[in-house]
Amino acid sequence: MEPIFATERTRELLPRIREFVQNELYPLETTENLTHNFSHVEPILQQKRQLVKKAGLWGLHLPEEDGGLNLTLCEFGQVSEVLASSPFGHFVFNTQAPDIGNTELMHKYAPKHLKDKYLKPLMNGEIRSCFSMTEPEFAGSNPTMMGTTAVKEGDDYVINGHKWFTSSADGAAFLVVMAVTNPEAAPHKRASQILVPMDAPGVTLMRNIPIMGHAGDSWASHSEMRYENVRVPQANLIGAEGTGFLLAQERLGPGRIHHCMRFIGIAERSFDLMCRYAVTRKLDDAKVLGDMQFIQGFIAESRAEIDAARLLVLRTAHNIDLYGAANVRDEISMIKFSTANMMLRVIDRAIQTHGALGMTNDILLSFWYAHERAARIYDGADEVHKSALARSILKNYGLDLRRK
């Protein structure tokens, strides 16, 4: 049965991408590659990137003038699901976060000199980038609380601050830093986004933060950063001064589609592993796991939840394409918490089905269980999205929440 949001381009692309991922990337999902730092497997992934380019599958999300196919968000979401079936898929196709978000941001708002110096090599996969926003001293659920400042001196900004969970900073060529430039303005108009070269004096990568016992490195890492009297030209401003939060929200709308379709790809692969094990794992000479009603329940519930989540996310992507992210806020909040929780439930059921094997590093499930728990926290904690959605709904029923 053809997917409801299929287009001529997805009909042609998805089988080719799926074949590439299964043939070239699945064999790399060894215990050694999944448990060592990312730099261990990165050299061979760089070779796979060249194969992607030769196959004409590079930069599919980019505008046609940059060698892409200018896929709609709904079309790219379907590509993203296929890539997510392997932990290496998005990186090999150069559509990984945070680079894809920075690419989209810079396409729209960066001045020409920054596009020439940084955006072009970023699109070519020659460099990486990162996005530096959250701070350990302030609650991430209220992004207007921010201590990092960028003060004008002559033609420069002088940046001072402390950030963490600056994902993929290790080895990146530049950071997009959120800093307060207009402290007297309204809360959502105080911050700006500024491009900072990683090698600028005063930029310090303090550590890669251990996540579930593993600090990681290179692209697969989350860094704590210190900015001490970092001086960059005011011309490194992305967009207008004071529009940092506006740009962040514009970045996060499509970004959440990317994340949610990735969650669905992970859930689909976990489902496949669960079903394959259910029909092959013998309990005795006459029975396999799939004969057990508990396992049948896992499979039925997972199938329904994955399919429902996919339709909800692709509908949201389609509406963003039509009406813009600002007009689809409620749907964006809805898919973020519902899809993340769906993915984690499916992974957990798949682990339970595999028993002790599911807890080992011999298969993908434990890798995803450790690395994807954060899905309920980053890009807005579940509780924030649920509250925002409920407040919007209740407002339509006449409840004035401002009185609280």
CATH code, 8-96: 1.10.540.10
224-250 pLDDT tens trace: 999 999 999 999 999 999 999 989 887
CA-to-CA separations, 160 to 150, 177, 180, 207, 343, in angstroms, rounded: 7, 11, 10, 18, 38
Comparison of pLDDT for 10 and 326, the residue scoring more: 10
The pLDDT value recorded for residue 209 is 97
Instruction: Indicate the residue type of 107.
Output: H
CA angle 336, 327, 105 (to 5 degrees): 70
Span 112-135, average pLDDT: 96
Handedness of CA 46, 48, 51, 53 (dihedral sign): negative
The pLDDT value recorded for residue 2 is 67
The pLDDT value recorded for residue 251 is 77
43-84 pLDDT tens trace: 999 999 999 999 999 988 888 888 888 899 999 999 999 999
The pLDDT value recorded for residue 223 is 97
d(CA 254, CA 336): 11
CATH code, 129-238: 2.40.110.10
The pLDDT value recorded for residue 66 is 84
Span 103-112, average pLDDT: 93
The pLDDT value recorded for residue 253 is 75
Span 73-96, average pLDDT: 96
- Of the candidates 395, 397, 385, the residue with the CA atom closest to the CA atom of residue 332: 385
The pLDDT value recorded for residue 3 is 72
Topology given in CATH for the domain delimited by 251-403:
Butyryl-CoA Dehydrogenase, subunit A; domain 3 (1.20.140)
Asked if residue 176 lies in contact with residue 238, where contact means CB atoms within 8 angstroms, the answer is: yes
Span 121-147, average pLDDT: 91
Asked if residue 26 lies in contact with residue 86, where contact means CB atoms within 8 angstroms, the answer is: yes
The pLDDT value recorded for residue 143 is 75
Query: For the whole model, what pTM was predicted?
Result: 0.94
- Of the candidates 200, 196, 222, the residue with the CA atom closest to the CA atom of residue 210: 222
Of the chain, the percentage scoring pLDDT greater than 90 comes to 84
Q: What residue spans define the domains of the chain?
A: 8-96, 129-238, 251-403
